[in-house]
Amino acid sequence: MDAAPPTWWSRLATVLDHPGLRRKAALGAMVLATPSLSMRWAADDWLQRAKLLGNVPGVATERGLLWDLFAFFPRDPDYFHELLVEGVLPWWTDPEITAAFMRPVAALTHVLDYAVAPHSALFQHAHSILWLGLAVLAVGAFFRAWLGVGRAAALATLCFALDDSHAWPVGWLANRNALVAATFGALGLYLHLRGHRWTGAIALCLGLFSAEMGPGAVTTLVGIELFAIGSVATRFRRLVPAALASMLWATAWVVGDFGVHNSGLYLDPLQRPLAYLAALPERSAAMLATQWLNAPLDFWMVLPPLGAAAVASALFALTTFLVFPVLHPVLGTPLGKQALAASLLSVVPVAAGFPMDRMVMFISLGAFALLGMAVQARLAGEAHHPRRVATLATLHLPVAATMFVAKVATLGPMFSMFENGTSVLPREGSLRERDLVILGGMEVMTAHLPMSRVLQGLPAPRRQALLVPAGGAFTVTREGANILRVDSESGLFRGTSEKLCRDKSMFTGDAVDLGWYQVEVLADRDGHPTTLRYSFDRDLDDPSFLWANYRLFGMELTGPPVLGQRQWHGGPAAP
């Protein structure tokens, strides 16, 4: 009698039982990431490139490359004002804002890039792909040490390798730090579980000094030890090396004055504990939901506050409905309790930042361990709700792999679309004597425009002015030869995406004078400007001005508003 044809589950079991799965998973992840080899530099890459090459006037590090490669606002007030006048920073940037991330280990990998191949984006992206492979190998070793040699560890490793949330860290050079932190963090966890706790603490320390998500490895370890075998005193002693590594990192962070202050997107728990705690439920729900449902979360920052809360609530409710019945039997085991605690605790450090797909790196370790245990039970014929187990396995294997490739492949075109100012602006040298006025757009896109053009050998505008941040609709009215009025019914700086450079209110009468133009708040609604007046130092029809706006497919050149005419803009995303 012929044997029954293999089912999806039997094929999966064959894959999970393969002795070389960890190495093949690492290689497979690297292959999926190869579309990134066609990418160049984008967004923050340009600032880092300017610092590393050291050939862009006015761009310098204040504390050296290793400590300032991920610093985005100068501490020198004179230099800060110069960037405001030049338009690298938008006019509404809070003078007291700081954003400096302590990532010397990750910075060292970029220093290596520029020592070996400073002008080869291909080499630098290949370097990031290598770190992805190393991260999968380290995570796979950790799962084997934690869950044992079996299908649960194999499934968890495979899910991590195919996770589409790695698309940004591997495809965007400036986000390589996440992969470096994952590699050293997972290595530290592996060494700890093998009994090499002091050596593991060194690896954990390297992960901490790689990225702000590095503490996720420490919280994962705390979650494991919370339900591990041994007395409370014994488990506490086992955590001492990791605790000392964390204290070293925290001391360096505080003494070096690292972190983000006065930005609405990042909430430092030490500086703004109440705001952080208020945002923690919503951000935690969103990131846990995107981890389990594989739902894209990178659109989060463009949602209005009420919309973000509604999406988080809906996703979390769906996650609870789909996932909890599957995990309920697993959560009764010691490993299940460890995995749940590890995943939940790993939300705490990354909730300081706004929700994004790439923030779930360490949250996924506990989650994939739980999924691995559920799938292992299904393959043994012991699982509850087998269809839901199958749904989750499908989401995190074939669907995730497909999304991984799609995200990596579209990352380059997406950056090119939003950074098309390089190709749209004139290439004549006379551009250096003209001022670019951008009606509306995202500051993260306009900030890098001058540097990116200089680094590509193209002329940059003398100065630029971004009038309105990305967000809701607004109108522009030309009231005089050199005066514009902007009206926003809901008020500026209300949406999440508008709070990157400012989290403080602006009231009627507040003004900013940048020499070649001044901005005055004529009316506000609860500290959100609804009417602003822009007064320029010359006629808006002067040929030394160049006018532009951001729309759905990037920047487009326009002309100056007509005197007395009222123009409606549906935000930079309007077609």
Q: Hey, what are 540's tokens?
A: 């808006």
Please list, in sequence order, all residues whose beta carbon lies within 8 angstroms of the beta carbon of residue 231, skipping any fewer than 6 positions away. Answer: none
Q: How confident is the model at residue 3 (pLDDT cuts 50, 70, 90)?
A: very low
List, for residues 444-480, the tens digit of each pLDDT value: 778 888 888 888 888 999 999 999 987 678 899 999 9
Residue 464's beta-bridge partner residues? 436
CB atoms within 10 A of CB 111: 14
Q: If you average pLDDT over each of 30-44, 492-506, 548-562, which comes out highest?
A: 30-44
| Percent of the residues in the chain that have a pLDDT greater than 70, as a whole number | 95
Report, as an integer, the average pLDDT of 271-298: 86
Q: How confident is the model at residue 553 (pLDDT cuts 50, 70, 90)?
A: low
Q: What is the DSSP string of 395-427?
A: IIIIIHHHHHHHHHHHHHHHHHHHTTHHHHS--
The candidate with the shortest Cα–Cα distance to 451, out of 40, 50, 114, 41, is: 50
Is 90 exceeded by the pLDDT of residue 575? no
Give the H or E element holding residue 511: strand 511-513
List, for residues 84-129, the tens digit of each pLDDT value: 999 999 999 999 998 899 999 999 999 999 999 999 999 999 999 9
Residue 565 is predicted with a pLDDT of 83
Q: How confident is the model at residue 382 (pLDDT cuts 50, 70, 90)?
A: confident
Task: Tell me, yes or no, if the pTM score tops 0.85.
Answer: yes
Residue 29 is predicted with a pLDDT of 96
| Sheet of 566-569, strand order | 511-513, 517-525, 528-536, 483-487, 474-480, 566-569
285 exposure class (CB count in 10 Å sphere: 0-12, 13-18, 19+): buried
Report, as an integer, the average pLDDT of 4-18: 78
Residue 144 is predicted with a pLDDT of 96
In terms of DSSP bridges, do strands 483-487 and 511-513 run parallel, antiparallel, or are they unpaired? unpaired
CB atoms within 10 A of CB 429: 9
CA dihedral 514, 517, 520, 522 (to 10 degrees): -170
List, for residues 480-526, the tens digit of each pLDDT value: 999 999 999 888 887 777 788 888 889 999 999 999 999 999 999 99
Torsion sign, CA atoms 482, 448, 510, 522: positive
Mean pLDDT for the chain overall = 89
Phi first, then psi, for residue 7 (nearest 5°) are: -95, 175
The candidate with the shortest Cα–Cα distance to 108, out of 184, 35, 160, 26, is: 184
- Choose between 301 and 560: higher pLDDT: 560
Residue 572 is predicted with a pLDDT of 42
Please list, in sequence order, all residues whose beta carbon lies within 8 angstroms of the beta carbon of residue 187, skipping any fewer than 6 positions away. Answer: 138, 141, 142, 200, 203, 207
Report, as an integer, the average pLDDT of 198-204: 97
Q: How confident is the model at residue 573 (pLDDT cuts 50, 70, 90)?
A: very low
Please list, in sequence order, all residues whose beta carbon lies within 8 angstroms of the beta carbon of residue 209, skipping any fewer than 6 positions away. Answer: 102, 103, 104, 105, 249, 252
The candidate with the shortest Cα–Cα distance to 309, out of 318, 299, 322, 300, is: 300
Residue 140 is predicted with a pLDDT of 97
Is 90 exceeded by the pLDDT of residue 535? yes
- Choose between 146 and 5: higher pLDDT: 146
CB atoms within 10 A of CB 428: 9
Residue 5 is predicted with a pLDDT of 52
List, for residues 221-236, the tens digit of each pLDDT value: 999 999 998 899 999 9
Residue 2 is predicted with a pLDDT of 41
Contacts of 198-203 with C-beta under 8 Å, sequence gap 24+, read: 198/241, 200/241, 200/242, 201/241, 201/242, 201/244, 201/245, 202/245
The candidate with the shortest Cα–Cα distance to 242, out of 267, 214, 283, is: 214
Q: How confident is the model at residue 574 (pLDDT cuts 50, 70, 90)?
A: very low
4 exposure class (CB count in 10 Å sphere: 0-12, 13-18, 19+): exposed
Residue 552 is predicted with a pLDDT of 67
Lowest mean per-residue pLDDT among 131-145, 297-311, 397-411: 297-311
Residue 1 is predicted with a pLDDT of 36
Q: Hey, what are 443's tokens?
A: 């500051």
Is 80 exceeded by the pLDDT of residue 316? yes
- Choose between 175 and 355: higher pLDDT: 175
The candidate with the shortest Cα–Cα distance to 469, out of 301, 279, 259, is: 301
The candidate with the shortest Cα–Cα distance to 33, out of 207, 165, 178, 158, is: 165
Please list, in sequence order, all residues whose beta carbon lies within 8 angstroms of the beta carbon of residue 44, skipping any fewer than 6 positions away. Answer: 72, 174, 448
